[in-house]
Structure formats: structure tokens, C-alpha cells
Structure 1
Amino acid sequence: MRSSIVALTLLSTTSLASADSLDVVASFSILADMTRVVGGDHVSVTSLVGPGEDAHVYQPIPTDVVAVTGADLVITNGLGFEGFLERLIEASDSQATIVTASTGIDVIEVGEDDHHDHDDHDDHAHAHDDDHNHDHAHDDHDDHGHDDHAHDDHGHDDHDHDHAHDDDHDHDHGHDDEHAHDDHGHEDHDHHDHAHHDHDHGPNDPHAWQSLDAAQIYVANIADGLCEALPGHCDEFTANAQAYASELEALEANWEAALADVAVDGRTIITSHDAFGYLARDFDLTILAAQGMSTESEASAADVAAIIDQILETGARALFVENISDPRLIEQIADETGLTVTGTLYSDALSVEGEASTYLGMMASNLRAISEALQATN
């Protein structure tokens, strides 16, 4: 009799635990952090690509299959970023709901010229027009649509959570955790300054988390996915998402204030790979990058020479290494231009520890590094 009571108690406890929390797999560290903030105590989150790791070159490991197999939700960026993920989900035979965090954002479309060598680099910088009508796409998104989980303003009617991973994932990458923007007036998006054979992410720039506007939509989509999977705690998820959105808005205001005294034509920074297009669009930055949108592509001697020519022509002096990239490319550019490496920017991954180990901290760290560098060189 006693053993039966114990068994029933264990069964009841297990059922309660499963109804009170979710096992969530996030494709990379930035999404994992957002999910933890929104989900709070009701999520256990595993990040496939961990802090300090590069999703562009990631290869799944056996524990990834185990994690995805047991997941209730898989949070993915989409936009062709996680080339490893579709095959991983198929291999795991996972029944998890797929939440594509970038659904409904104002996507930067990559033109044909962004996938081959450019002879005239001056036509392809991430220079963003003065008339760039920065509408802040989140203005219509303040409530995040959590009352009905529809996101009508952003095209989120159904969310397509059931295996909504992209069909254009055609490149391998893929850890176990603990560790058209018409509103912005940028129809002519042939401003990329990466002269190289770009590793193909598809027709869109996937690095949308670099926009604090887009990040609010990411957070809203994650909250919607959690609400659908665990409706009993939807009020908590919604409140967490709204509080997080307020922090994102405050940080965006900090960016605007920090760059207010820097002339638009003095906002040029030099990085390894072209991961900051959304940041450039939001804050009228010009980005010079020898590599393409993937760190898997290698900059040729001609690419490096072209960037060096542009640095000399523009007088750009804010030179950054990235936390996920081999610093030798930037060190070569520094040697050949006489510049000093200004600091580190966080592009596609959080840091293992320190300020940049959270998304808000990462963006604050990037703000400090970029604003201080530009103010010192203007």
C-alpha cells in the first residue's frame, strides 16, 4: 500500500512539473538569453551554439540530438541563419514546436551585388540615408499583441510555429548550453561594403538581433510561443516580455543619445564580417567589412586591399575585432593602415562571462565601444 502511495505521489509530482515548465532549445546564445528572460522559472533552456561560439561554422554534436529530441519548443532565428538546424531536427525526429523569432521583422534584403566581388566599393557601404525615417517598428508593437497572440501589425497571425524552419538552409553549422524595410526608406539596399564571395544565407541578412527594434519583436514572438505551449503561465510570460521591451527601448534611447553629437559622415566602423547591417540601418552607421555575412567565407587579398583603400579614402579609424572571429584579419588591416584596434564588438554570440553574457549587456557593450571610438576620432 505504501509503495502504491509513493508511486502515485511521484507520478503526480512529475505530471505537475511537466505542466509547470518547458524544455526549450534555442539555436544560439542570444536567443537562449532572451528565452530565459521571458520564460523565467518556467523554462529550462539549452543553447545549441553556446556563448563565444560561431553559428556560421558550428557542427552539431550528439548531445544536440538528445536535447532537440526532448524539447517542447525550439527557438530559431530563421532567415537562413541556422543551416544545421533543419537536418538536426529531422535526425532527432523531434515533435517540438518551432518558434521562428524573427517572424514579422523589417528584413534587410541582400541584393545580387552582395554575393560577388565588387569593383567599386564606394557604392556598397552600409551607409544609410539621411532621410531614413526611423519609424521604430516597435511603436505599433508596444503591447506585443499578447492579448490575442496575433501580432497583426507584424504579420504574425498564425505564427506558423509548426516546423517553420526555412527551406533555404544550405550550409552546415549547428552545443549544449550552460555555457524590406520600406518604413525606414531603404529600398536601395546595395550599400554593403563586403567585397567577397559571400557564404549564402539566402536572400536576407539574418543578423536582425543587432536591431533593438527587431529585438522587441523577437521577444514578443518568444513570449507567444511560450504562451501557446504553457498557457497557464501566459500572464507571466507577457509581463516579462513587456518589462524586457521597456529595457530595450531605454537602451535604444541610450544609443541615440550617445551618437547624437557624432556627424553621420563620421559614423564609419571597420569589422571582420558583415554582421551589423541592422545596427547600421537603425543608427546611420557605415560598416566596412572584408568578409561577407558569414565568417565561413574567407576574405581574399583583393577584398583586404579594397577595404584598406576605402579606409584610407574615408579616414575611418574605428577598427574592431569580433568576439567570434579570428582577429588576424583585423590585425592585418591594422598593420597595413597604421590603425590601432579600438576594441571588441559582439556580433553573433554572447560572451561566456562578464557584461556581454546577456543580450542587453552585449548591446550596451557594443554601444560603449562604438560611441567612444567614434567620438574619439571625430
Structure 2
Amino acid sequence: MFNTLRFATYASLLTLGGFASSASAAELKVVASFSIIADFAKNVGGDRVEISTLVGPDGDAHVYEPRPADAAALEGADVVLVNGLQFEGFMSRLIEASGTKASVVEVTKGIEPLKSAEEEHEAVEKTEAGHDHEEAGHDHGHEGHHHGEFDPHAWQSIHNAEIYVKNIADAFCEADKAGCATYTANSEAYIARLGKLETEVKAAIEAIPADKRTVITSHDAFGYFEHEYGLRFIAPEGISTEAEASAADVAKLIDQVKHDKASAIFLENITNPRLIEQISTETGIRIGGTLYSDALSGREGPASNYIDMFRYNVNTMQAAILGS
């Protein structure tokens, strides 16, 4: 559990020991909530920023438990970058415990959020049942977990990634006006690279026959990808990896997979493979590889930055579906 006293003590000690070094450092001190946002920040900030990442490569922000060192990092930060849309359930208590005076920036500001899969599921049930879902006392929210009205995985659309980058550049300009020209130039150059990536992605999806564009993943992390690029994703778990699928959910999914003729099934780097392996065994669909959904890979992995992550995921899906 979160120990506010430990955070307060640790942060006080760090302040006493680190004041001189922070005062002499030229860099803008930035804390990013997880690895994908940290990568965006590095591309915008370049050498003018010093970035700390709370949930690192292959880490799962859905279940992350903050440490005293995280509170200390926030306490010394100039800017804190968070996804928002209730993705980082730990952030509000961490910010409060740290006592940070940093500017806290939600980098999803300005996107058009999609309804979460859980909300869509409940809306369909309300329509089909012809009565109010809540008044009837039903709970289909994956073992009682509820992760907000909107799907937080907005970075799975490259267009949204461009908005993330613009928001980060604006935040850096506000905190470090002397570096604004650099941040603006860096963000524009990176957005141009994202535009080229999107052209690649659309071409890769177009090469997949329309009747083979249904795949299975561990949890509902790819809603924005589906909306943007036309590949359909079905998953046994909800928006959060905390939400464990019941036996009935899995049985229903297996029936759906057989009916919809899913073309491939994938593991995710942040989730336990057991459930996907079970579905693969019962449906006869071979596991096509591992996708990077909520976190980058380590430095030596195939998805150590956002552009490589997106390209790797698309190539992995295309190869598994087409059998190449």
C-alpha cells in the first residue's frame, strides 16, 4: 500500500541533499508517467530536458505501485507528463504525496476519445434489454473493475500521437521559454516522421484481405488502432489488465473467434500469456507473436521507441495473418 509518511520523509531527505545540484542543472526536469510518453518527450526536448520515467519498458501502468523514489522524482520536477483518461490510476495519490509544484500536463488534451469497450458493451446490453442497466443491478465490468468512460490507449492512433507531441512541445515552451524554438522545431521534425509512418501503416493494412482483418489480443488496448486503420481486435480482458476474464467470458470469446474466423492471435508484452495460450489451444489458431501495447521494449528489443513499436506491431500482425 501507499505509504505517505515514507514518501514525505524520503522527499525531505532528497530535498536537503539535492538542492544544489538541481539548482545548477541547465536541463528542464521532466517526469513521464510511462515509457511511450517518455519517448515522445525525448524527441521534443532533445538535450534540453532530463527525463525520468515512472513505468519503464515492458511495465504495466494499470497495476503499477509507486515507490518512494517516484515521489522524489515528482518533487524535483518542472513538468510532469501524464496520459490522463484514467490510464494511470496511481498518479493522483502519487502527486499528492510528493507535494510537487510541477506543471502536470495531460498529453491527451484535444484528442477525440473513444468510448471504452466496457462502456460500449454496457450500452449494447441496455439497448437489447430495453431497460436501464444500472437499475437492474447487473455488473458486467470485469470482476468489478471500472476504468472510466473513455478508452485511454489513444497513442494507438498515429494522428493522436501527433497531438501528444504538440501538447508536450507547448508544455516545454511554457516551462522553458528560452528553449521554445528548439522544442517547436523538434516537434515539427518528429511529426513529419510520424506522417511517413502512418503512410507505411495504411499500406500494410491495405495489403491484408478484408475478410482476414480480425485478430485476438490479451486486453482492449488497440481500440484506436481499429478505429483508425480498420483492423478488428477482440480480447478476453477489458481496458485494464487488472480486469480478469471469467470462464464464461473466455467460453464466449472462443465461440466468437470461431464464428468471426479470427486470423491470428497475439500475446502482449505486459500481460500474462496463459489466457492467450489457452485460447490458442482451444481454437487451433497459432500465436503470431508478441505485440507492444502499453509499453515499449527495452533498449535491445524491437520496440524501444514509439515509431519502431508501431512499425514492429504492424509488421508482426501482417506476417502472422498472411502467413509470411
What range is the shorter-chain TM-score in? 0.7 to 0.9
Deviation at 1:62, TM superposition (A): 0.8
Query: Aligned pair 1:372/2:319, yes or no?
Result: yes
Cα deviation 1:226-269 (Å, max 9, x = unaligned):
01101111111111101110111111100111121323332111
Aligned match for 1:355, one of 299, 302, 307: 302
Determine the C-alpha separation between the residues in 1 that align with 2:247 and 2:81: 38
Q: Structure 2: how far apart are the matches of 1:195 and 1:335?
A: 26
Matched ranges for 1:289-368 at <5 A:
289-353=235-299, 354-368=301-315
For the 8 Å contact 1:195–1:303, the answer to whether it is kept is: no
Residues 32, 80 of structure 2: 8 Å contact kept: yes
Structure 2 distance, partners of 1:22, 1:326, is 37
Paired residues for 1:175-190 under 5 Å = none
Spell out, residue by residue over 1:29-85, the C-alpha distance to the aligned partner (whole angstroms, 9 max, x if none).
110111011100011111111111100000001100100110100000001111110
Distance 1:99 1:117, change over 3 A: closer
Aligned residue identity for 2:297: S
Q: Measure, in 1, the Cα distance between the counterparts of 2:22 and 2:251.
A: 61
Out of 29, 37, 54, the position equivalent to 1:31 is 37
Instruction: Give the structure 1 partner of residue 149 of structure 2.
Output: 203
Partner of 2:10: none
Structure 2 residue 113 is matched with structure 1 residue 107? yes
- Matches for 1:95-244 after TM superposition, within 5 Å: 95-110=101-116, 113-114=119-120, 196-197=142-143, 199-244=145-190
Contact 1:318/1:342 (8 A) holds in 2: yes
Per the alignment, residue 54 of structure 1 pairs with 60
- Asked if 1:88 is matched to 2:94, the reply is yes
Shift of 1:376: 2.8
SS in structure 2 at match of 1:75 = strand
Instruction: Kindly state the Cα deviation for residue 309 of structure 1 after the two structures are TM-superposed.
Output: 0.5
Higher alpha-carbon deviation: 323-332 or 255-264: 255-264
Q: Given the two structures, how large is their TM-score scaled by the length of structure 2?
A: 0.85
Aligned length: 292
Amino acid at match of 1:82: E
The one of 36, 61, 70 aligned to 1:64: 70
Q: Per-residue deviation at 1:196?
A: 4.0
Distance 1:303 1:321, change over 3 A: same
Q: 1:106 to 1:117 in 2, by over 3 A?
A: closer
Calculate the TM-score normalised by the size of structure 1.
Answer: 0.73
- By percentage of residues, which structure has more helix? 2
Q: 1:12 to 1:85 in 2, by over 3 A?
A: closer
Whole-Å separation in 2 of the counterparts to 1:13 and 1:336: 58
Shift of 1:195: 8.5
Residues 205 and 231 of structure 2 are in contact (CA less than 8 Å); yes or no, is this contact kept in structure 1? no
Name the CA distance, whole Å, in 2 between partners of 1:326 and 1:207. 19
Q: Which amino acid aligns with 1:39?
A: G
How far off its partner does 1:13 sit? 9.9
Are residues 361 and 202 of structure 1, via their aligned partners in 2, closer, same or farther at CA, if it must alter by over 3 Å? same
Q: Look up the equivalent residue of 1:84 and give its one-letter code.
A: F
| Runs of at least 5 residues in structure 1 that lack an aligned partner in the other structure | 1-10, 120-193
Structure 1 residue matching 2:208: 3-state secondary structure = coil
With over 3 angstroms needed to count, the CA separation of the structure-2 counterparts of 1:268 and 1:98, relative to structure 1, is same
Distance 1:78 1:236, change over 3 A: same
Secondary structure of the corresponding residue to residue 62 of structure 2: helix
* Paired position in structure 2 for 1:286: 232
SS at match of 2:240: coil
* Cα drift, residue 352 of structure 1: 1.2
Is the CA contact 2:39–2:305 (under 8 Å) kept in the aligned structure 1? yes
1:114·1:198 contact (CA, 8 Å) conserved in 2?
no
2:156–2:224 Cα contact (<8 Å) kept: yes
Query: Which moves more between the two structures, 246-255 or 367-376?
Result: 367-376
Q: Percent identity?
A: 50
Q: Deviations over 1:159-212 (max 9, x none)?
A: xxxxxxxxxxxxxxxxxxxxxxxxxxxxxxxxxxx9845732211100001110
Instruction: Give, in angstroms, the shift of residue 345 of structure 1.
Output: 0.5
Cα 1:335–1:195 change in 2 (3 A) is: farther
Larger RCO: 1 or 2 (CA < 8 Å, sep 6+):
1
Q: 1:326 Cα shift? A: 0.1
Matched AA of 1:362: M
